[in-house]
Amino acid sequence: MQYPEPITQLIASYMKLPGIGQKSATRLAFYTLGMDEEDVTGFAQALIAAKRDLQFCSICGNITENDPCIICQDTSRDQTTVLVVEQSKDVMSMENTHEYHGLYHVLHGVLSPLNGQGPDDINITSLVTRLQDHSDISEVIVATNANSEGEATAMYLARLLKPAGIKVTRLAHGLAVGSDIDYADEMTLIKAVEGRTEL
């Protein structure tokens, strides 16, 4: 027995989301059917507004309502450092620490040859142009994830930018606060030793 067409289409729509398979999509579809019509309308309007009203900042690539974004417009921020992240959500994670006060650059992905994603497929060209146009930027902090694609992207950026005399640094990696050494994998321990600090 097949579901009515509207439910089938709703399930198919949910399955387009990352990490949502057939069972999860079906559960979400039936949950949506049980919602008040006002809530469903609000949900649909929020989806449409996010897609219609948001854009990427022409300077840093972060998601924003206004171009340039509020961070790029903020002249009180440190104009000499740019922190490079993979996605816009990473900007918010860094901002929530209240420790970094420089600028950002969002790559919208990482280098992944296995997935056919090279330098031209992510937001690297605009970073190079930005650094050429703003000679006051002296340091680029690479904050890509600590996996093979993130490391490859960090190494590529370092090779690309260092000849221009720009300091390229990487966020420290290592043991998480509260973790036990005996549960850490070898790479985490190596990074922890390399990133050690003086007490």
Regarding whether 81 and 42 lie in a shared domain, the answer is no
Q: Could you write out the three-class secondary structure of 7-57?
A: HHHHHHHHCCCCCCCHHHHHHHHHHHHCCCHHHHHHHHHHHHHHHHHCEEC
**What pLDDT is recorded for position 168?**
93
Regarding whether 138 and 98 lie in a shared domain, the answer is yes
Task: Please say whether the dihedral angle defined by the alpha carbons of residues 113, 114, 120 and 125, taken in this order, is positive or negative.
Answer: negative
Measured distance CA(122)–CA(125) in Å, rounded:
8
Total-model pTM: 0.82
154 with 107: CB under 8 angstroms? no
Could you state, in chain order, the average pLDDT of each consecutive group of 10 residues for the chain (199 residues)?
A: 92 96 97 96 96 96 96 96 95 92 96 90 94 90 89 93 90 76 76 69
**What pLDDT is recorded for position 193?**
78
**What pLDDT is recorded for position 191?**
76
Regarding whether 144 and 110 lie in a shared domain, the answer is yes
Regarding whether 82 and 48 lie in a shared domain, the answer is no
Within-domain flag for 102: yes
Name the residue range of residue 10's domain: 5-53
